Structure 1
């Protein structure tokens, strides 16, 4: 099974990017997925892979690591084993060694989807955005309508400052995967980053009306309202699960960003009104939720983002 990527690229957008102090795209969290069984897998190793994947999915990193290590010790070219080790290392934040394991797996099987996804989300975590974009495009060549790949690629593009291309990717993914919450949340955040919070509100409202909507959707909706200056709506949303002091921190942050953007309009006529400069320092994807002030206001992961490292992916 593939681990959780945005833990949840996502890809995000899942809190606002560099200019917002800590923005990001939803980093894609993906549910556990059955790993393809390679030709050199025997019944015993297949059973161990499934147990290891289950342990990883349930958060038992120590057991999962032990089982994956056993698989690799028995067969140094075990693609699921190497990928699993990459997943466990990613889960504890060791992205450098995680990337090494994914690359070892891809040297054996360059088209192994979980390893490709893992390598892409590591690239996002390490801010190697061009590498992430290349890797996600490879995945899309093999799986043209894969939601995690679309979310991850869009997240990488967003973090690279190409919001128009990111939004096109999210919309393409939504056309193939209608209603996908990760893609919708990432699209909403991308619109905020590009200076279009009003359209972001419309996108995010479609997600948050469902009881099972991801938390990132409501957080990003509050951000969109905040950037519009509708502090009453933003405060009501944030107050549902945050203490009053944290809500006030976020409202001050929104006000600061509105003033910053207002000042920027007078000095940079090329900037779209209300646009937020992202640059390359934010995270998605997916990934994971980035905090602004003391509060997470968005998701990513994927990588893809993950997550903004699906983001896990």
Structure 2
């Protein structure tokens, strides 16, 4: 349906609804909702779109309808061919989903879905090759219309033209999920992972059929892989949350309190503050006084940074700096013969360090924008440690 035709339909509905009595509106809304619900359940979102738009006019404060309207508008972007038209569908979809959130819709992934839609409605591109791009657009259109066999042919032809096209393999898996052919879905999701193991989507998508089959341990492993691939992506955290909700698990990082605040202007000027209780803890035997080393070590890194990172012109907080500072605290605390009973935070830090998981803790629990820049490089050689940290600590509510 073209945008101008759709707009004309909405105007016509607005005119007709103004002459309807309230009771007729209620009856019409009930009928529309029943018809729309059937289509939504059948994943026929494009067919449901006109009904959802009419319901939105009659019941503008209906949170569920706004959510389904947003989903249907997103589906429409997969059918439309004109870029400006697609752009407008994206903008409208985002607006409807934001309204659904404001009205209290409880979809756990709603925030992530909204954030994934560009505010300006810019149209994403799959390939620089015109023929491949066209095949993907055609496949998306067939998928949105529920024509799964036709969609699969287009996706796989696109993949033949470009064997590195991650989304052609990924969406082939989606086709088989829609057909409830989970074994073939797994084959195609694995192909996507082979193409690019550093994109989280295929790991996460492959967990969906496993969850449906109640293969929760296998699904957990996929969600973990998705999370360690892109831990700062809200979708991956939502995936773990979904698994935890179904299985009753409690998620969380270790409860480690660092009683030192450190700030730097990047030009050598630093500010260190330590909690008063820690400053007075020299009389205790819990090692708290060792926290003095955290600020001192980080202050030293104001000059060390350029030596360790000669190719970077501007200072930033790094994984190496944070690791050095926390290890300095651990070293002093454990070397102090008076410190017989370390605080719970220091004991946990020592445990993480002894297991070789301190870097994983820093990256996944304490990373700021500076430290985050070191994540991809660390992941290349230490995926197993990141995985161990998630399994042993995050999935157990912070560790036993």
State the TM-score bracket (shorter-chain normalisation): 0.3 to 0.5
More helix by share: 2
Larger relative contact order (Cα-Cα within 8 Å, sequence gap ≥ 6):
1
Which has the larger Rg?
2
